[in-house]
Amino acid sequence: MEDLETECITSIKEIFFNFGENYFNEKNVTQLRHALQCSYLAEEENSTSALITACLLHDIGHLINKNACSSIELGIDAEHEEKAVEFLAPWFCDHVLFPIRWHVPAKRYLTGTDVGYFSLLSKASIRSLEVQEDHSPGKKLLNLNKFHILQMR
């Protein structure tokens, strides 16, 4: 019987090996490349190993959901951040899971408060933000979208 660490590494490697080359409504960045870019940037910022790990795995919820692409196209929030946390919870502590769970509300907050941040989002990222529901406790405050941003300009 393999230990927990081996099980974790084997499972994650298998997911990236099988689905990492998928494009997610974006034609120039694969899921694996996106994960590596995020973790690289976190490392460059001297982030903790937990945050670097969270950056690497934050969108794994898209990879374990066979219908992720069609969900977004159909306007359905597949709650990939929650799926990721459920999947990773047996192996990782809250220092890794918390940023993963909150990366969608954090993106929503940043798009609502930082026009420069919003302007850097890809079309796919904007589309996913439109579809993803805001489950945060302060959702009325944070529930700003691109239309609010455009009105603020």
Closer CB to Fe ion, residue 11 or residue 125? 125
Q: Which of these segments, 27-35, 37-45, 57-65, 87-95, binds Fe ion (CB under 5 A)?
A: 57-65
Least gap, CB of 106 to Fe ion (angstroms): 10
Upper half-sphere CA count for residue 43 (Cβ side, 13 Å):
8
Binding Fe ion by CB under 5 A: which of 31, 59, 100, 118?
59
Nearer to Fe ion, 35 or 144 (CB): 35
Give the end-to-end CA distance of the chain in Å, rounded to a whole number.
59
Tally of CB atoms within 10 A around 63? 24
Task: Pick the closer one to Fe ion by CB: 1 or 65.
Answer: 65
How far from chain centre, in Å, is Cα 50?
15
Nearest to 57 by CA among 109, 121, 13: 13
In angstroms, give the least distance from the CB of 95 to Fe ion: 18
Single out the residue of 84, 132, 88 nearest to residue 109, CA to CA.
132
- Position 87, amino acid: F
Contact positions with Fe ion (CB under 5 A) in 92-151: none
Nearest residue to Fe ion on Cβ basis = 59
* Site for Fe ion, rule CB under 5 A: 59
